[in-house]
Structure formats: C-alpha cells, structure tokens
Structure 1
Amino acid sequence: MITEGATVLAIVNLDSASGAQIQESAEAEGVQTIDYDRLTLGGSAAYYVSFDNEEVGRLQGQGLAKCLEDKGVTQGNIAFLNGSPDDNNATLFSGGAHEVLDPMTQYTQVAEQAVPDWDNQEAATIFEQMYTQNGSNIQGVLAANDGLANSVIQILGRNNAAGANNVTGQDATAEGLQNILAGDQCMTVYKPIRDEANALAELAADLINGDEAETSGTVTDPEGDREVPSVLLTGISIFRDNVKAVVDDDFVTADELCTGEFAAACDELGIE
C-alpha cells in the first residue's frame, strides 16, 4: 500500500508488536497512520478511533449485575471469561467490568481466565474446567463477547443449566441476539460500526488535508509513554426488550435473526 502511494494507513492490529512495526515502516516513508478499533501499544499512530472500551466493560459489568438482580440472585458466584491476553481491548473490557463488579461483595469472583486468540473452542474448554472446579456453582458469567458467551451457553446446556440467562456478551451478533431471544444470554453490547467507520474517514481526510482533527480526548499508551489523540464512541447495552434497536439500525437483518424457533420472539418484540 505504501509503495502504491497511500498517504494514510488505518490499522487494526492483530497484536501490538507487529502493528508497531508496520507503523514504524510507514513513518519512515512519510505515511501517517491511524489506530482503528484497538490501540497499538508502543506504536506511532497520529490518532486512535474506537469505542470507549473501558466503558464497554462497565456496560457488561452493569449488565451482569442487572441480570442477577432481575433473576433474584442476591448473592452468588461469578466468573470472568476474558478476551485474548495480547489484545489491548480485552484488557480494557476486563478493567471496566471489574470497576463495576469488584465493589459488589455480594458476588464472589471464583474464576477468571483470558482466552487466547478469542478462540471459542478453547473458551468452551476453559469454562468447562471453571464450572467443574467450582462444583457447577456459578450463577453469572462475564463473557467478553458473544462468541465466548455462546461457548459458555453450550457448556451450561451440556450440564442441564441452559437458560440461566446470567451471561453477558458483546458485538450484537445474530447468534448472540438469538441467544438473548432464547433466554440463554442476558445481554450484549452493540457498537454501531457505521459511526466508527465515519469517524475514521473524517480523521483520515483531516490528515490528508493537513487539518487538525476534532478528537474527544486522549488515551494513554503505557508502552510508548505517550498520550494518543482519540475519538472514543459509546456502546449500547442490548437486553431482550431492545433487541429490535439493532435490527432497526440495519446491523443485523430480521431475516437472519428471526429464523425457525426465534420467529415467535421476533413477532412478540415487533421485529420484522
């Protein structure tokens, strides 16, 4: 891309180390970079655009607390199934969730583990071990995204505990929303990617035109020891009663969501 004349690169890193190398190569050729969706630790991006990932974690923590309260669980055990340990976003999600849940001493945190590469199959194995080690005595699970949540739901189903409904998620995938409609997952966090993409486009245009971009603050890069000018957007908590909002926003279609056994729930919620 640099050879072909790109003047701005938007990067979603797979890991910070390789992302930083790309940014270093780009900088050497006079190409500016933008971190998109996740921050490149130790990098050199001019801007960072993403959702406020700590706030996403807080929404998940608040969601799990609401789920437990709505189910009448006034005390119990909770577990954390976090995203990949080399993904800075996963660290931020976990930090935000802990900020909410740590003060809630009525809930005992009995297990926590990161899932390498967000691998759903490995997540199922990890959660099954958590569940077994705690004698099936887990009332809530802070799962970092809908894929990990589905892995938890599969294990709960194998143990005749499906429908506990105290499982969080993120990304508002069709599968995650269907799990919510079925009562197997309590909530997810919807992140309108149209807003994120538009913010990226505006930042890129400003860099190309040599204009100072409008940002909402800065984010600390501890490895690079710098503050990165940032545009941080806000996610939306989705429970069963507002699943329709995701369809109305054209993120998921009714055709892919309201299949088979989920059609009745869609009718009930006015999703069409």
Structure 2
Amino acid sequence: MGALVATGVLAFGALAACGSSDDNNSAGSSGGNSSSAAGGGSGKADVGVILPDATTSPRWESQDRPNLQKAFDAAGLKSDIQNAQGDTAKFGQLCDSMIGEGVTVLMITNLDSDSGAACLKKAADAGVATIDYDRLTLGGGASYYVSFDNVEVGKLMGQGLVDALGKEGKKSGNVVTIDGATTDNNAALFKQGYDGVLKANPQYKVLGQQSGNWDATKAGQVFDQLYTQNKGNIDGVVVANDTMSGGVIARLKADGVAGKVPTTGQDASTEGLQNILRGYQAGTVYKNTSLEADAASKLAIDLIKGDKSAAAALATGTVQDTKLNKAVPSVLATPVWITQDTVKQVVADGQADASQICTGNVAKLCTKFGVK
C-alpha cells in the first residue's frame, strides 16, 4: 500500500454509520474566531484548528468547521477554529497566535508541507501536542494524524471510472487523469490508488496525467489541452475532486459531450452531487467528515488529559512520513463511493442539504433517486 503501513479499525463513535451546504456563519466566511463557550471560565482555547482555505473544496467550511465545532462543544472543549484562506503567511500568523494564546493541542490542515512543518516545529518547541487533520505534513513530526484511507480514496475513483465505462459498454478506451496539487501529500496517495486500478485494467489506456492544482479553472485548462492533443479521443477522466471535476465537465459541455465522457470526483460537494444526478459525473468519494471530527476531538481530549494510553488505543493505524522515515500514529476512516442511487446517503448523514442540491432541473432527478 506504499505510504499506508497499516489501517487500524476505528473505535470512535458513529463509525458504524459511515457510508459536502455552506455553514456561512461569520466565522466561516471570514476565517475568524469560532471559540466555544464550553469548558470553563478561562478565555484560553483548549484546542486550536487551522483549516487551509475555502476554495479548493467547499468541505472545509461547509462540513469540517461545523463538524469540528460540534464535536468540540460536545466534548466540553474550548476551541479556536480559523481558516488560512489559502495564504501561507496567514497560516503562519494563525499558528503563532494559537501557540501564543496557549492552546494545549494544535490541529492543522497544511497548505503545503514546508509551511505546515514550520508550524508543527514551533508547536513542538512550545510543548503543544499536534494533530495533522486530513493531510499528513511531510517532515512535520505531528503527534497524530486523523484522516481517511487516502489510497483507498484513489482506488474508489479508479474503480468507479472503470465500472462506469463498463456500464456504457466500453470494454476498452482511453482515459486521462487530472491530479490534485503536487504540494499535497494526499494527492500523491490518491494517485497511487487510482493508478493501481488503471494498471490492473490495461484495456483502458492512460493518455496523460496532469495536475489541476485543486482548481476548477486550472483543471478545465489542462483537460482541454489533453483533449485537444488527443483529438477528442478520450472516453473517461479520473478527476481527483469535485471542484476540478466541475471544471472538466464545463469543457465537456462546451464540446457537447458532457455525460458521454464520465468523470470522477471527491468530497460529495453540492455541485458534485448535482453533476452525479445529472449523469455528468460517474460518482464521488464521500468522506463523512463528522467521523474525522469525532476522532480529532477524542484525541484532543486524551492529549489534554495527558492520557497517552487512551490516545494510543484510538490511533491504531499508522501512515508513513516518507520525509522523516517515521510511522505516524493515525486514525483512518473508511471512504465510500457515491453514485446516483446513493446520493441520498450523504443527505441522510447530514453532510449535504437536499434543498441546495435539488434546485432547477435537478429537482426531478432528486425525486427519481429518493433525495429528500
């Protein structure tokens, strides 16, 4: 499995139920303070969280922020949840501020491993326990890592495209991949997963692989280049998330072939789920972020209490930091592949809002597929 050394069985709450509506609160839209009032009279936060941005995927503000806030509040922890808005300088400022205010635990989703590692080193020097959230910071030396099995995420995308092509009767064909940002370790793990599936299905020839940098416009541009280079002879596209898939689908629409060239995605965003219902996108990898948030809050409680044995019992898996050549204790949840027939699962889990999905010409499709 490459970077994945082991994936332990998760013991945190609600996992058995595991298979992205913006929160739009003032903290979410501005990246401002979102401290809970629970946990005592002191103004100091127990746990600080730095989310990466609000553009590469809607999930950071629509799913992760409210799920983390809910989990911390339920645990009686005071939290300070901020968003770096894609700015490494702001990321560093937030890191310094949270360490300075005296958080006991610092949780980050890095923008890149270099700036993330610099933050984690400062935290370690200050005696602050750290959790890498969703993305492993290579060379960072985080105390723990909470995420999903990201190689499995890639496998689901690869197999999802193979299945979609087979359903269309295309027993062979040409595909391209639009990968995530080269600065994101998760993108490499996703690619490892879907490359493995494509290698095992050589009837589908890979004509090109390019990074879309988690950006819809960039993804559309690089796909357009690949599409032109291959004279439109592309049967399917592995796209590493819903945001980029939207950019690819826009190009396919312009060429009048949307729905005839299946794409993949990840994050179960509102746009992604709509594109699935419309038949433009074969599916999306759904990562129920309430599971990540629940695990992160439980780890934070254990670390605040200094209960290393409880933390170790929760983090039963490991992921290899290839830069430090170190196995990082990890809690890894299981992702789920979502198609037209299972979009309703994301809504039922409370991770998407039917009123936002089922608009315009999608409303009848929601009725057809039981999304309500």
Q: Could you say whether these structures have the same fold, taking a TM-score greater than 0.5 normalized by the shorter chain as the test?
A: yes
- Residue 259 of structure 1 corresponds to which residue in structure 2? 359
Of 215, 227, 233 in structure 2, the residue corresponding to residue 119 of structure 1 is 215
* 1:235 alignment counterpart: 335
How far has the Cα of 1:221 moved from its partner?
0.4
Say whether 1:182 aligns with 2:274: no
- Alpha-carbon separation, structure 1, partners of 2:144 and 2:199: 32
> 1:44 deviation in Å?
1.5
**Whole-angstrom CA distance in 2 between matches of 1:221 and 1:99:** 21
Q: Is the 8 A contact 1:2 1:26 kept in 2?
A: yes
The equivalent residue for 2:33 is none
1:68 and 2:168 correspond: no
Are the equivalent residues in 2 in contact too, given 1:81–1:143 (CA < 8 A)? yes
Please list every run of 5 or more consecutive structure 1 residues that lacks an aligned counterpart in the other structure: none
Instruction: Tell me the CA shift for residue 115 of structure 1.
Output: 2.0
Q: State the match for 2:131 in structure 1.
A: 34
The code of the aligned residue for 2:125 comes to A
Query: What SS does structure 1 have at the residue aligned with 2:210?
Result: strand
Name 1:45's counterpart in structure 2: 142
2:179 aligned to which of 64, 78, 82: 82
1:245 maps to what in 2?
345
Q: 1:202 aligns with which of 270, 276, 298?
A: 298
SS in 1 for 2:99: coil
Correspondence 1:16 to 2:113: yes
Aligned length: 271
Render the CA deviation track for 1:46-102: whole Å, top value 9, x for unaligned.
Answer: 100001100000011110111010011100000000000110011100100111111
**Higher alpha-carbon deviation: 208-217 or 142-151:** 208-217
Distance 1:218 1:159 in 2: 45
Helix, strand or coil: the match of 1:2?
A: helix
Within 5 A, what are the aligned runs for 1:142-153? Answer: 142-153=238-249
CA distance in 2, matches of 1:83, 1:216: 28
Q: Is the 8 A contact 2:320 2:326 kept in 1?
A: yes
The question of 1:128 aligning with 2:228 is answered no
In the superposition, the TM-score normalised over structure 1's length comes to 0.98
Give the deviation of 1:216 after TM superposition. 2.7
Percentage of identical aligned residues: 50
SS in 1 for 2:101: coil
For 1:271 and 1:62, how far apart are their aligned partners in 2?
24
Q: Is the 8 A contact 1:165 1:186 kept in 2?
A: no
Contact persistence 1:12–1:38 (CA under 8 A)? yes
Give 1:18 deviation, angstroms.
Answer: 0.5
| 1:180 to partner: Cα distance | 0.7
8 Å contact kept, 2:176–2:234: yes
RMSD over equivalenced CA pairs, Å:
0.9
**1:165 offset after TM fit, Å?**
4.9
Residues 117-153 of structure 1, C-alpha deviations (whole Å, 9 max, x = no match):
x121111111000000001000010000001111111
Which consecutive segments of 4 or more residues in structure 1 shift more than 3 A? none
TM-score with structure 2 setting the length? 0.72
Is 1:6 matched with 2:103? Answer: yes
The superposition leaves residues 169-205 of structure 1 with CA deviations (integer Å, 9 ceiling, x where unpaired) of: 0000010011011111110011001000000001111
3-state DSSP class of the match of 2:266? Answer: coil
Amino acid paired to 1:141: V
CA distance in 2, matches of 1:74, 1:92: 27
